[in-house]
Amino acid sequence: MRRSSNSSKKTAQSNSDLFRSASSKASSKESERIDSLFYSYANGSTRLIDPEGIETLCADIEVDHTDVRILMLAWKMRAEEQGYFTLDEWRRGMKELRADTVSKLKKALPDLEKEARRLSNFADFYSFAFKYCLTEEKQKSIDIESICQLLILVLGSTFPAQVNLFVEYLKSQNDYKVINMDQWLGFFRFCNEITFPTLSDYDAELAWPLILDNFVEWMKEKQK
Amino acid sequence: MERKAIDLEEGWGYMVKGISKLERILEGLPEAPFSSEEYMMLYTVIYNMCTQKPPNDYSQQLYEKYREVFVEYIKSMVLPPLREKHHVFMLKELIQRWSNHKVMVRWLSRFFHYLDRYFVMRRSLPALSEVGYICFRDLVFMEVQAKVQKTMISLINKEREGEQIDRSLVKNVIDIFVAIGMGGMNHYEQGFELKMLDNTADYYKSKAANWIEAEECLKRERDRVSHYLHSSTEQKLVKKVQHELLVTHANQLLDKENSGCHALLRDDKVEDLSRMFKLYHKIPRGLEPISNIFKKVGLFGHITAEGVALVKHAEEAASNKVLIRKFIELHDKYMAYVNDCYMNHTMFHKSLKEAFEVFCNKTVAGCSSAELLATFCDNILKKGGSEKLSDEAIDETLDKVVKLLAYISDKDLFAEFYRKKLARRLLFDRSANEDHEKSILTKLKQQCGGQFTSKMEGMVVDLTLARDKQTGFEKYLLDNQHVNPGIDLTVTVLTTGFWPSYKSSDLKLPPEMVKCVEVFKDFYETTASHRKISWIYSLGTCNINGNFEPKTIELIVSTYQAAALLLFNTTDRLSYSEIMTQLNLTNEDLVRILHSLSCAKYKILKKEPNTKTISPNDTFEFNFKFSDRMRRIKIPLPVVDERKKVIEDVDKDRRYAIDAAVVRIMKSRKVLGHQQLVVECVEQLSRMFKPDIKAIKKRIEDLISRDYLERDKDNQNTFRYLA
C-alpha cells in the first residue's frame, strides 16, 4: 500500500513537470490562483490546510464537513492524511476540477459527485474512503463505530437496505471490534453480487470474509 | 500288367452292397460282421477307381457319393423317428442316432480311405470323417437343436425344483453339443449355454429368500456343472446365480429380519457372518456395489448404534468414568468380527473406523473424548489408580487406548491433556511404573509420529537427568559445607518447551527458602553456564514441622502453603491483607491456600470469624492446640481446573498450525482457489486435528491483513502468495 502511494506521488510529480514545460500564460495564471487559494486556507506555520482550514473551506462552499462530497474532494486530490491537504494534493485536485476560485469549486461539486459515483470509479473511491480513515501509523483496521458511519456515508444511498442491516448487525455482535480492508471490500462485493434480501445466491463455501458468513447467518436467523 | 478299367456304375454297385450291409448292422438287423476280406475288397475297389487314368479316375464322383450315402441314410432312417419322438425320448433317440452315426463315419471313412490320402489332401477338401459329422450337424442337429435345447433346460429346471432327472442322458446330449463343434465351443455356447444362462437368471429372479438358501443354491449349481455340464460353464453360471440371488436382492437379503446382517450381529452369530461374508467375498468386485448396504445395515450401522447408545447412557448418567473402558470392549468385539468373519477385509476395517469416528468424537457430560482418553491413561499409569491390572494387562490396555486414539480427530487436545497429566505424575512422583510410561510413548510415537511425542519423551528424559543433577547437587553440598543452607532441598530442573506452561508467580519466598534457591543457583552455574533458571514455586512441595502444643507434627504442604505458614514463626496473628502483601500473591491463589489451612480437614490456622469461606476481612492465628493421631499429615491443596487453560492453549496452537499450513501450501502453489486451499489445509492438519472451516477462513483473512496473502484482483475466491 505504501509502495503504491509512493508511485502515485511520482507520477503526479512528472505530470506537473510536463505541465510546466508546456506552460502558457493562461495556465500559469490559473496555477497561481490555485496556489493562492490554497494559502488562504493553509496554516501559516505548517503550510498545510489543516482541519480548521477545511472547516473554513466547507463553510465557504456551503457544504457540511461530514458531507460525502468532502470525502470525494479528498479522493480527487488523492489526499493521504485525513484532515489535511498538502499543496501538491490541492493543485492536483483543483486542476482536475478546473477550479481556481471558491465559486468554481462549489459549482464543480455536483460533477465531482457524479464522477465518483460512476461505476468505473466507485470501487476506487470506496476503497479510498477506507484508507483515508486510517490515521495512525501501521493502522490497518477501523473501529466498528466509525465504520458504521463511513458505510452509511459512502454506501448508504446506493444500497440502503444492505447497509442498514449490516450496520445493525455490526452493532449487535461481539466477535469483531474492528473492520479491515478485506472485510470492507468484501461487503461492497456482497452488495453488488448477492440478491438481497433473499441471499439465495450466497455461498458460504466461497471465500467471503467470515464476517459476511456470520452476517448472512444472522440475517437468516432474523428472517425466521 | 495292364488292368481292365472298372467303370463307375460297376464299381459303385459293389460299394452299395457293402454300404447296405453296414446300414443293416446299424439298424440292428441280423447281419454278420464285416470280415477283413470284405473290408479289403471294398477298400481295393475305391483304390482302383481312384487310381485309373483319366477319364476313368472317379475320385471326384466317389467323394460326392460318399456324402450322398450319409444324406440318404439320414433322410430315410434318422430323421423320421427323431421327428416323431418328443422330450426325453427324443433325446434318447438323438443319443442313439449320434452313436450310430459315429460308427457309420468310422466304417465308411475306412472304406473310402484312399480318397483321404490323395484326393482330399491335394484339393484341400474336408476330410471324410469331417464330411460325415458335417452331415449329421447340418441335417440332424440343426433341425432338432431348438427342441433339444428346450427339453434340456426344462430338465435342469425340474432338477432345480427337486425332481430326479437322468443326469447321464443330459450329459450325453451336452457331449453332442460339444462334439458337433469339432474342436470349437461355438455350438455348445450359442446353441445351449446362452439360453440356459438366461433361463437361470429368470429362474432365480424370484427365488431369493435369504442368503443361506442362496449359499445352498450356489453349491447345487456348482454340482450341476460337475455332473453334466461343460466345465467352462461353471464361472458363468455361478456369476449369474450370484448376481440374481446375492447382488440384485442384496438389500433385502442383508436386511432380513432373522437372517440379515443386523440380526447376525445382534445375536453374535460369528460363524454365519463369516459364511455370509465369504459368499459375497467370492463375487468378483462383489463387495464394492454392496458396500453401501453393509454400511447401512451391516457393521457400520451396528457399531454406530451401539457406540451412540454407550455415549447416551454415559450422558444420562452424567458419568463418563467407564466410557473409555466400554469403547475398548466394543472395539475388541468388532475387531474380532473383522478379523474372523470378514477375513480382515479392508472394507470392514474402514467401516469399523468410520463407525468409531462417529461416536468417539462426541462430547460426553462436558468432556471431549480426547480428555477422557487422557484421564483413562492417567488412571492406569498413576500410583493407586483405579485400574488395578497386571503388567501385561496394562500394556495390552495401553495398546488399545492408542488404537482408540486413531479415531479421535482432536489428537492435539489429547496430547495437551496427556502432557498435563504426565507432568503431574512425573513431578509429584505419582507415576506407578516408568516402563509403562515409556511403553505408551513408544506406541503413541508409532501411531502418531515422532513430533507427537517429542515433548512427552523430553519430559521423561528431563526427569532422569534431574535425578542425576540432584545427586550432583548433594555432592556439591557435601564438598562445600559452608554454603549448606541447613534445609534439604530437591530441585527438578526441567527444559522449557517440553513441559506444559505454568504461570511462574511472584511468590515472595521466606528467607530460609531464598537462601536455598541462591545456593542451588550457585551450584547450577558451575554445571551449566548460559542457562537461565526460572522457578515455578506452584509445583513445589515442602515438609515442615509444626510445633503444636500437644505434639510436633510433620506437615506435607505445597510451597505456597509453607510460605504462608512460615509467616507465623514471627507473629501469632495476621490479617488477610497482611498475608497478601507479605506473600505477594493474587486473591485467587491466596483464598485457595488459606482455605486449605483454615477451613478444610486440618485447621492449622484459626480464622476469625470462624466461617467456611475466606473473605478479605478475615484474620488468622496459628492454632497451637492443633493435633492429629498421625505424626505426619499431608494437607492437600485442591488443583485448579486445568481444562479451560488446556483448551485455550490448544486453540492457540491450532491458530499457529493453520497459519503455518496455509503459508506452506501457498508458498508452494503461489496462486490457489479458496476451496482448494481449505481442502489441502484440512488434509495437512488432519493428522493432528480436524480444523473448523471457519477457523481456517479466519486465519486466511488474518494472513491477508498481515500481507502474507492477497486476493486476486479479478477473482475474489483466489488467493496469491506474497513473497
List chain B domain ranges.
8-183, 248-365, 375-448, 462-537, 540-640, 643-721
CB contact under 8 A, B717 and A207: yes
In this predicted structure, the answer to whether residue A8 has a pLDDT above a threshold of 50 is no
First to last CA, chain B: 113
**Residues of chain A neighbouring B700 (CB-CB closer than 8 A):** 207
The closest CB to that of A207, out of B694, B698, B716, belongs to: B716
The answer to whether A189 contacts chain B (CB < 8 Å) is yes
Residue B639 DSSP symbol? P
Using a CB-CB cut-off of 8 Å, the residues of chain B touching A183 are 701
Residues 128-187 (A) with a CB less than 8 A from some CB of B: 140-141, 180-183, 185-186
Average pLDDT across chain B, whole number: 85
Structural domain includes residue A2: no
Examine residue A1 and state whether it is found in any structural domain, yes or no. Answer: no
Whether the pLDDT of residue B284 is over 70: the answer is no
Least confident of B131-140, B318-327, B637-646: B318-327
ipTM for the predicted complex: 0.78
Q: How far is CA B168 from CA B156, B175, B185, B226, B229, in A?
A: 12, 10, 20, 12, 10
Q: What is the mean pLDDT of residues B391-398?
A: 89
Do A89 and A134 fall within a single domain?
no
In chain A, residues with a C-beta closer than 8 Å to the C-beta of B718 are 207
Check: CB of residue A182 under 8 Å from CB of residue A130.
no
A73 and A40 within one domain = yes
Q: Which residues of B touch A209 (CB under 8 A)?
A: 697, 701
Same domain, A186 and A102: no
Regarding beta strands B619-622 and B573-575, do their DSSP bridges make them parallel or antiparallel, or are they unpaired? antiparallel
Which of A63, A86, A117 is where one domain is finished? A117
Of B675, B701, B717, the CB nearest to A182: B701
Shared domain check, A21 and A102: yes
pLDDT at residue B390 is higher than 60: yes
Residues of chain B found within 8 Å of residue A127, distances taken between Cβ atoms: none
Average predicted confidence (pLDDT) for chain A: 86
User: What's the fold here for domain B248-365?
Assistant: 5 helical Cullin repeat like (1.20.1310)
Under CATH, which number does the domain B8-183 receive?
1.20.1310.10
Are the beta carbons of A209 and B705 separated by less than 8 Å?
no
Closest CA to B614 of B638, B592, B640: B592
**CATH code of residue A163:** 1.10.238.200
A182 CB neighbours in chain B (<8 A) are 701, 704-705, 711
Whether A200 is in a domain gets the answer yes
> Does any CB of chain B come closer than 8 Å to the CB of residue A62?
no
What is the pLDDT at residue A25?
A: 64
* Model pLDDT for residues A15-58, shown as the tens digit of each residue: 445 545 555 666 778 888 899 899 999 988 888 999 999 999 99
Residues of chain B positioned with their CB less than 8 A from the CB of A141? 705
Domain boundary among A87, A117, A147: A117
Sort out which chain A residues have CB atoms less than 8 A from B704's CB and list them.
180, 182
CA atoms of A83 and A65, how far apart (whole Å): 10
Q: Which domain holds residue A134?
A: 122-223
| Stronger pLDDT, B44 or B269, i.e. the higher one | B44
Q: Report the number of distinct structural domains present in chain A.
A: 2
Q: Is the pLDDT of residue B236 over 90?
A: no
Contact yes or no for B705 and A213 at CB 8 A: no
Superfamily of domain B540-640: Cullin; Chain C, Domain 2 (3.30.230.130)
Rg (CA), chain B: 48
Q: Is the domain of A12 the same as that of A113?
A: yes
Inspect the interface and report whether the beta carbons of A213 and B697 lie closer than 8 Å. yes
**pLDDT tens digits, B88-144:** 888 888 888 888 888 888 888 888 888 888 888 888 888 888 888 888 888 888 888
B709 touches chain A (CB under 8 A): no
CATH of the domain at A59: 1.10.238.10
Chain A residue with Cα closest to B694: A210
Task: Kindly give, in sequence order, each residue whose CB lies less than 8 Å from that of residue B83, ignoring residues fewer than 6 positions away.
Answer: none
Amino acid at B672: L
Residue B605 pLDDT exceeds 50: yes
Closest CB to A140: pick one of B675, B705, B711: B705
In a domain, A106, yes or no: yes
CA distance A194 to chain B (A): 14
pLDDT of residue A7 exceeding 50, the answer is: no
1.20.1530.20, 1.10.3720.10, 3.40.50.300, 1.10.10.10: CATH of B643-721:
1.10.10.10
Assess B674–A contact: CB distance below 8 Å, yes or no: yes
Are A218 and A185 found together in one domain? Answer: yes
Query: Residue B3: pLDDT band by 50, 70, 90 thresholds?
Result: low
Answer yes or no: is pLDDT of A12 > 50: no
Domains B8-183 and B540-640 share a fold: no
Contact B697 A207 (CB under 8 A): yes
Q: Of the given ranges (B23-32, B151-160, B340-349, B479-488), which has the lowest mean pLDDT?
A: B340-349
Most confident region among A137-141, B93-97, B366-370, B680-684 by mean pLDDT: B680-684
- Residue B252: per-residue pLDDT: 66
> In terms of C-beta distances under 8 Å and separation of at least 24 residues, what long-range contacts does B427-435 make, across chains too?
B427/B492, B427/B539, B428/B541, B430/B382, B430/B383, B431/B381, B431/B382, B431/B383, B432/B381, B432/B382, B432/B383, B432/B384, B432/B385, B433/B381, B433/B391, B433/B394, B434/B460
- State the average pLDDT over residues B544-563: 93
